[in-house]
Amino acid sequence: MISPIRLVLVTAFSNNLRGRAKYATQALPQLSSEKYDVKRKNFAKLQTKDVEHFKYLLGDERVLTDETDVLPFNIDWIKNCRGQSQVVLKPKTTEEVSKILTYCNDRKLAVCPQGGNTGLVGGSVPVFDEVIVNMMLMNKVISIDDISGALICEAGCILESLDNMARDHQLIMPLDLGAKGTCQIGGNVSTNAGGLRLLRYGNLHGSILGLEAVKADGTVIDCLKTLKKDNTGYHLKHLFIGSEGTLGLVTKVAIHCPVLPKAVTVGFFGVENFENILKLYRSAKSSLGEILSAFEMADYESISNTSKNLNLPNPISDYPFYVLVETHGSNEAHDEEKLTKFLTKEMESGLILDGTVSSEPKKMQTIWNLRESIAGAGLVKGYVFKYDVSIPQKFYYDLVPVLRKRMGDKAVTVCGYGHVGDGNIHINITVPEYTKEASSILEPFIFEEVAKVQGSISAEHGVGFRKPHYIHYSKDKTALQLMRDLKQLMDPNGILNPYKVLPEI
């Protein structure tokens, strides 16, 4: 498990103590409120009596107030945002969450819900002195049904642990992402996380069967059903999926787990240009059909930098683009044959320049590791501006060369990679250090370009703290007003994750 403290990433996630020691010697990120010039809202300030009350509710051990202990919970994964919270609460039950929120709502203390703190848009850390409610101790699996595939658990369960447990029952979690060793299912639900196999298993609005959440005033909303079909009134669970902790705190989750595939095969291919990737995607869908579980792409810069910065092997030579294809099926020989046939056919056609196919767990892991590590590889070289956009597939890669030209020598690297099958590209721009000048070259330019092709400015990471003032590029005024109305209804004092998702009027 990865702690919320992390400085050098992905392959070098550290344990708590090592992380803490590093904070002592490295420069801290600038305070978010100063960096982004935000004004504190009129919430109450934490007083000694509040801390005493929290200790009365949770006991001394689960109320952190020591500055060094609290610091890692104030800083986000990419070290872009830093809050100023003075207290971290670690509830163990829904009842405790409810009591905390009732108290905070009455006192008008702002709250920042926090899961694994792997979010990439600054939503998981406070901006000012919000009370951090970290869900790590709500980590029990309640039940798992081998027949229906329904797993019920508390929100703080780590995604990878759930997947390991599901595998013992011949099931898998329907989502997988590079942060699986740290992110929590409650965080996944609250961000509507997509990930690597959305192409095959769909998004969480489909997989989440039910959930339990606590509203800002402490009311527990029980929608923890495991039924596949339940059309009794409004589908309230969807309000909490993707609302990034602004409408309620998710405390329990019921999720549908697909059957563990008997055969998994991974192919990693070199490709000449992006046009050929799209042709290859079409061909993969028709040749591999129902067994296709992932179709990922990365450009040369993504792979070569990850390989160099994190010392990870690239199993094939250098190519302008790479494609990772994975199949989940029920017959290893059949699936490997299908993938090898696809490889042979497309090598002959010239769409694939070189490639490797494997069903060996170790080899597959090496390939996935390279792909999953791209997200953190740039951080070794400086500050990374991260964009996560949905774009119609025919324009998918167009922005990357445009941004390379626009940034010129101000960028160390500009790389594009992502989930081609979902039209979701991640663009990472590494610069030696954060500057407002670099930021203004990129924003709002990128969002304007995305809006021109009817894309989304956030495909899967959410809006968080970083993007509320750009949300209008993807949501019209009437939709935004309805979102404000919902927020007002569910959290009239606005205590839940303020400064996030909705823009200031």
**465: which DSSP letter?**
T
Q: List the alpha helices (DSSP H) in 170-223.
A: 185-191, 198-201, 204-207
CB of 332 to ligand FAD, least distance (A): 26
Q: Which of residues 424-453 bind ligand FAD (CB under 6 A)?
A: none
CA distances to 220, 373, 386, 468, 494 from 33, rounded to whole Å, are 32, 30, 20, 15, 18
Question: Does the protein bind ligand FAD through residue 123 (CB under 6 A)?
Answer: yes
Which range of residues in 191-199, 284-292, 342-350, 447-455 is near ligand FAD by CB under 6 A? 191-199
Residue in 75, 136, 172, 183 binding ligand FAD, rule: CB under 6 A: 183
- In whole angstroms, how large is the CA radius of gyration of the chain? 22
CB of 244 to ligand FAD, least distance (A): 4
Distance CA 213, CA 114 (A): 14
Question: Does the protein bind ligand FAD through residue 258 (CB under 6 A)?
Answer: no
Nearer to ligand FAD, 103 or 445 (CB): 103
CB of 357 to ligand FAD, least distance (A): 23
CB of 79 to ligand FAD, least distance (A): 11
CB of 175 to ligand FAD, least distance (A): 8
Question: Does the protein bind ligand FAD through residue 117 (CB under 6 A)?
Answer: yes
Residue with tokens 């407002």: 436
Question: Does the protein bind ligand FAD through residue 249 (CB under 6 A)?
Answer: yes
Nearer to ligand FAD, 296 or 346 (CB): 296
Size of the site for ligand FAD (CB under 6 A): 38
Question: Does the protein bind ligand FAD through residue 411 (CB under 6 A)?
Answer: no
Residue with tokens 């029980």: 222
Residue nearest to ligand FAD (CB): 187
Question: Does the protein bind ligand FAD through residue 207 (CB under 6 A)?
Answer: no
- Please give the helix or strand (H or E) that residue 302 lies within, else none: helix 300-310
Binding letters toward ligand FAD, positions 60-99, x by CB under 6 A = -----------------x----------------------
Residue in 495, 497, 499, 502 binding ligand FAD, rule: CB under 6 A: 497
Residue with tokens 């869908």: 285
Q: Among 84, 88, 67, which Cα is nearest to 32's?
A: 84
Which residues, 6+ apart, have CB-to-CB distance to 130 below 8 Å?
Answer: 43, 83, 85, 109, 110, 111, 112, 497, 498
Question: Does the protein bind ligand FAD through residue 188 (CB under 6 A)?
Answer: yes
Distance CA 415, CA 412 (A): 10
What is the CA 48 to chain-centroid distance, rounded?
A: 35
Nearer to ligand FAD, 181 or 444 (CB): 181
Strands 208-214 and 141-144: unpaired
Q: Is 184 left (phi over 0), alpha (psi -120 to 50) or beta?
A: beta
Distance CA 179, CA 10 (A): 8
**442: which DSSP letter?**
H
CB of 105 to ligand FAD, least distance (A): 15
Residue in 19, 83, 174, 245 binding ligand FAD, rule: CB under 6 A: 245
Nearer to ligand FAD, 122 or 355 (CB): 122
Which range of residues in 106-114, 317-325, 358-366, 406-414 is near ligand FAD by CB under 6 A? 106-114
Nearer to ligand FAD, 338 or 371 (CB): 371
392 burial (CB, 10 Å; 0-12 / 13-18 / 19+) is exposed
Amino acid, single-letter form, for residue 382: G
Nearer to ligand FAD, 276 or 302 (CB): 302
313 burial (CB, 10 Å; 0-12 / 13-18 / 19+) is exposed
Q: Among 363, 376, 426, which Cα is nearest to 178's?
A: 376
Which range of residues in 42-50, 173-181, 392-400, 448-456 is near ligand FAD by CB under 6 A? 173-181
Question: Does the protein bind ligand FAD through residue 116 (CB under 6 A)?
Answer: yes
Residue in 118, 304, 309, 358 binding ligand FAD, rule: CB under 6 A: 118
Q: Which of residues 367-406 bind ligand FAD (CB under 6 A)?
A: 375-376
* Residues found near ligand FAD in the complex (CB under 6 A): 10, 77, 112-120, 123-124, 135, 155, 177-179, 183-184, 186-188, 190-191, 193-195, 244-245, 249-250, 375-376, 460-461, 464, 497
